[in-house]
Structure 1
Amino acid sequence: MRSARSTVILECVVRRHELTDAEWELLEPLLPRQRMGRPRIDDRRVLNGIVWKFRTGVAWRDVPERYGSWASLHTRFRRWASDGTFTVMLRAAQARADAAGDIDWLVAVDSTIVRAHQSAAGARKGGAATEPLGRSRGGLTSKLHMACDGRGRPLALVVTGGNVNDCTMLETVMEQIAVARQGPGRPRTRPDRLVADKGYSSRAIRAHLRRRGIAATIPERADQAAGRARRASRGGRPPVFDPEIYKRRNVVERCFNRLKHWRGIATRYDKTAESYQAAVTLAALLMWL
């Protein structure tokens, strides 16, 4: 006969990685509705299975049967990834936080390398959804470029090959920031300040941020400082840099750390960028909730 203690432990194991009632209450209205056809597996059950899969990093076929058929889970995930459902839910969570005054608009940007498993290679070539994989000495890699708010929650995410330079993607990442208003008005796209490391120190980036009226805290690279010194007065003034504000850049590192607690994100198993980005978006969504 099972003891009360073992029953509690079993329930905790079953509930591990699953959505809470409060989280589900917020997400349920944002999921697409079934309009016709046979009754399908409950959306909450499917979403729990998808979360469990990416939390643990297992193959789709190894997802426990309590979440339903693995094929149904995979089909639903691919459909929601393709139609932007995960992005819609993330935008809604961000808008809810903004309406509550819960977003710190000191934004930090950075990127992180993600090792690609051998199963991530071999996607069908052509089309926007094929894999952006870079080949380096360590093998196949992708790179996750991210902007997060001052509390370490993702505002924008872009997946590229691992050999793509950080500074070339800054404008693309910034264009992805669009926090909708709960009421009239256009989405907010401009942070109060951008904090980034030396990899983003370039004239083009600083000029872009000035045009948009965004204050920047980016340290100058040593070669840039030396070149400016050689030109004397023609080199201009050094960019304004506040080391105290720069200390807050660590929020983006902590955000990457939290995302990589998801084993299906720390290592990329998905063949398509669309699927991998959808998984990261789902993880980011739960961070906002």
Structure 2
Amino acid sequence: MAKKIVSDELWSIVEPLLPPPTPRPRGGRPPISNRAALTGILFVLRSGIPWEMLPQEMGCGSGVTCWRRLRDWHEAGVWERLHRTLLEHLHHAEQLDWERACMDSASIQAKKGAQPSAPTRQTEEDPVQSAIF
């Protein structure tokens, strides 16, 4: 049997962080479960396939449905909360090695208007003034 993309342990961590489903006043087709959507999202992100090529046989709904759920969860701040929660779990399990941590301007916001720590050196010669005849 194939390994689950979303294990029961991972799902128990993720599920409380997800926003409750919105009611559908007009009825229609019931939405796919959050777990199925997460499975589809992780499959696309891990495999690198286009959203439209998500196999229907996986039971995750369409790629567009998974993409919309990804977008909605991003707007709701789910991914940031999940990142923090997973880091906390790893920290408590003593599975984080902070000696190997790395931060750069992509992960830490620079202060606006801060003075540079050193003056910028000129890398080329002074431009020659045009000779006017």
For the aligned pair, the TM-score class normalised by the smaller chain equals 0.5 to 0.7
TM-fit CA distance, 1:100: 4.1
Matched, 1:61 2:52: yes
Where does 1:111-150 land on structure 2 (aligned, <5 Å)?
147=103
Which whole-Å CA distance do the structure 1 matches of 2:106 and 2:54 have between them? 35
SS state at 1:67 partner: coil
1:209-262 deviation per Cα after TM superposition (whole angstroms, max 9, x unaligned): xxxxxxxxxxxxxxxxxxxxxxxxxxxxxxxxxxxxxxxxxxxxxxxxxxxxxx
Superposed, 1:158-177 pairs within 5 Å as 170-171=104-105, 173-175=107-109
The aligned counterpart of 1:44 is 35
- For 1:90, the equivalent position in structure 2 comes to 83
Give, in whole Å, the separation in 2 of the partners of 1:43 and 1:172.
30
Query: What is the percentage of aligned positions where both structures have the same residue?
Result: 26
2:15 matched to 1:22? no
Residue 117 (structure 2) aligns with: 204
- RMSD of the alignment, in Å? 2.6
In 1: Cα distance, 2:53 partner to 2:76 partner: 25
Q: CA deviation at 1:73?
A: 1.0
Distance 1:73 1:96, change over 3 A: same
Q: What is the match of residue 73 of structure 2?
A: 80
Classify 1:49/1:171 alpha carbon distance in 2 versus 1 (closer, same or farther; 3 Å).
closer
> Unaligned 5+ residue runs, structure 1?
1-10, 110-146, 148-169, 177-202, 206-289
TM-score (ref. length: structure 2): 0.66
| TM-score (norm. length: structure 1) | 0.33
For residues 89 and 14 of structure 2, the distance between their equivalents in structure 1, rounded to whole angstroms, comes to: 12
CA, structure 1 residues 105+43, in 2 after alignment: closer, same or farther (shift >3 Å)?
Answer: same
Q: Which has the higher strand share?
A: 1
Q: How many positions carry a matched residue from both structures?
A: 107
CA distance in structure 1 between the aligned counterparts of 2:72 and 2:81, rounded to whole angstroms: 13
Structure 2 contact 19–76 (Cα < 8 Å) conserved: no
Relative distance call for 1:173 and 1:71 in structure 2 (3 A) is closer
Give the equivalent residue in structure 2 for 1:103.
96
Higher relative contact order (CA 8 A, sep 6+): 1
Give 1:88 deviation, angstroms. 1.0
- Give the secondary-structure state (helix, strand or coil) at the position aligned to 2:19: coil
CA pair 93-62 structure 1, distance change in 2 beyond 3 A: same
Q: Equivalent residue for 2:20?
A: 33
Give distance in 2, aligned partners of 1:204 and 1:108.
23
Unaligned runs of 5+ in 2: 111-115, 119-133
Higher alpha-carbon Rg:
2
Letter paired with 2:77:
G
Alpha-carbon separation, structure 2, partners of 1:75 and 1:67: 13
